[in-house]
Amino acid sequence: MDATIFTFLNIGALLGWTFVLFLLLSQLSVIQTSLPSLIQQLTIPFFDTTTTTTTVDDDDRLPIINLLLFLEGICFIEVGRIAIGQLKGKLVLGVILHLIRMTCLLIVLPAGLSSLDDTKVLISTLVLYSWALTEVGRYPMYLVPSSELARYVRLVLPIFTFPVGAFAEVVGAYWHLKQLLVGDDAATRSSLHWLQVGLLVIVVGVNALLGPTLAYPFLLKKGLPVLMGKKGKTKSSRKKED
């Protein structure tokens, strides 16, 4: 029963992240103009900034942000399963990764995607692309663990998506952190303000310092042998590694 529920969650997550990737691609002018008008009308509202603000507690978040929060909820279920031993994985890495994502979703991306600055919009969009591509490449191996192709994509794709995403996250977080620190008088800042500052400092610190020195070498250790086509690992050792 539990296995069936988690299989449906994995299918839902794969479909959700695939839809996110489609939404991102649909915003490219070269693709948007070729889409039927009905599809355009369905996709554009996900990025409609005309009725949104950038406050963390705002109920009028971009629809794309609400969709991503739902998908992150599924990711946190997976982290919980790792914590209780139902899934193999690095618990600390999973917790840090998804806390960084939640910080970006609640603080960085709403401001970035709604910005009038094209560069900030681009940075936020790169974050979303890196997440969507990584997750679309990750879930097939959960659904078809015996597939060599699914395993290849799962291990190789983050080699390319992680540096882009981590860089974009740290740039977006730094911009927002700088804005918070040079804003109102420190005496009038609330505890929520300082909570945001603390979370953004963590994002900048982890991505800038630990990302290149710990997280990325770990991904390279797993992915490079697969990318280079090296063989010789037993089935049991593969299961332990994945």
State the Cα–Cα distance between residues 141 and 149, nearest whole angstrom. Answer: 9
Q: What is the residue-averaged pLDDT of the chain?
A: 87
State the Cα–Cα distance between residues 195 and 201, nearest whole angstrom. Answer: 10
Tell me the percentage of the chain whose pLDDT exceeds 70.
88
pLDDT of residue 187: 58
Averaged over 84-88, what is the pLDDT? 86
Q: Which residues contact 187 (CB under 8 A, 6 or more apart)?
A: none
Averaged over 218-229, what is the pLDDT? 92
State the Cα–Cα distance between residues 45 and 43, nearest whole angstrom. Answer: 6
Whether residue 197 has pLDDT greater than 90: yes
Higher pLDDT, 60 or 74: 74
pLDDT of residue 236: 44
State the Cα–Cα distance between residues 92 and 99, nearest whole angstrom. Answer: 11
* Residue 149 tokens, joined: 């192709």
pLDDT of residue 185: 64
pLDDT of residue 10: 94
Q: How far apart are the first and last CA of the chain?
A: 24
| Diameter over CA atoms, the chain | 62
Q: Which residues contact 103 (CB under 8 A, 6 or more apart)?
A: 173, 199, 200, 202, 203
pLDDT of residue 153: 96
pLDDT of residue 40: 81
State the Cα–Cα distance between residues 9 and 241, nearest whole angstrom. Answer: 23
- pLDDT tens digit sequence for 12-68: 999 999 999 999 999 888 888 888 888 888 888 888 776 554 444 455 678 999 999
pLDDT of residue 234: 41
pLDDT of residue 44: 80
State the Cα–Cα distance between residues 186 and 180, nearest whole angstrom. Answer: 10
pLDDT of residue 55: 47
pLDDT of residue 184: 62
pLDDT of residue 237: 46
- pLDDT tens digit sequence for 104-150: 999 999 999 999 999 999 999 999 999 999 999 999 999 999 999 99
Q: What is the DSSP string of the chain?
A: -HHHHHHHHHHHHHHHHHHHHHHHHHTSHHHHTTS-HHHHHHHGGGG--TT----TT-S---HHHHHHHHHHHHHHHHHHHHHTTSS-S-HHHHHHHHHHHHHIIIIIHHHHHH-S-HHHHHHHHHHHHHHHHHHHHHHHHHH-TT-HHHHHHHHHHHHHHHHHHHHHHHHHHHHHHHHHHTSS-GGG--HHHHHHHHHHHHHHHIIIIIIIIIIHHHHHHHHHHHHTT-----HHHHHHH-
pLDDT band at 195 (very low <50, low <70, confident <90, very high): very high
